[in-house]
Amino acid sequence: MPRPVSFAVLGEQYACSGAWVVTVRGDLDLESLAAQRTQLERTAAAVPVLVLDLSAVTFADSSFLNLLLMVRRATDLRLAGVPGQIARLLELTGADEVLRLFPTVSDALPASAPAGP
């Protein structure tokens, strides 16, 4: 049975320590991201630092990976709480070399983030 198109994957959003934090949850695939893609791209273009809290994500496929790589071009993208399955996807594709991963949202905030790429 297909999921409803209105399935929201973007949850709570808030400003914190010079960053905009977005909680992402559920399954992230072409269908579930369709309604959220534009919102995330617009948010990325409007903020200097975007932290995605991925700790509540249960699945992600290549469509989410593509979205991350596009969003990265518009802002300083930081991924927090990356679950094992997504970390593995990033590792297998080499995206872990270009995306910034942090254990927690607090670690990903600009004030506590180490300098560098």
What's the mean per-residue pLDDT of the chain? 86
pLDDT in tens, 66-83: 999 999 999 999 999 999
Query: Phi and psi (nearest 5°) for 19?
Result: -130, 160
CB 31 within 8 A of CB 8: no
Please report the DSSP string for 77-108 in residue order: EEEES--HHHHHHHHHHTGGGTSEEESSHHHH
Domain 10-108 has CATH 3.30.750.24: yes
pLDDT of res. 8:
57
- Given pLDDT bands bounded at 50, 70 and 90, which one contains residue 31? confident
- pTM equals 0.85
pLDDT in tens, 49-64: 999 999 999 999 999 9
pLDDT of res. 46:
93
Q: In a 10 Å sphere around its CB, with 0-12 CB exposed, 13-18 middle and 19+ buried, how is residue 80 labelled?
A: buried
pLDDT of res. 39:
87
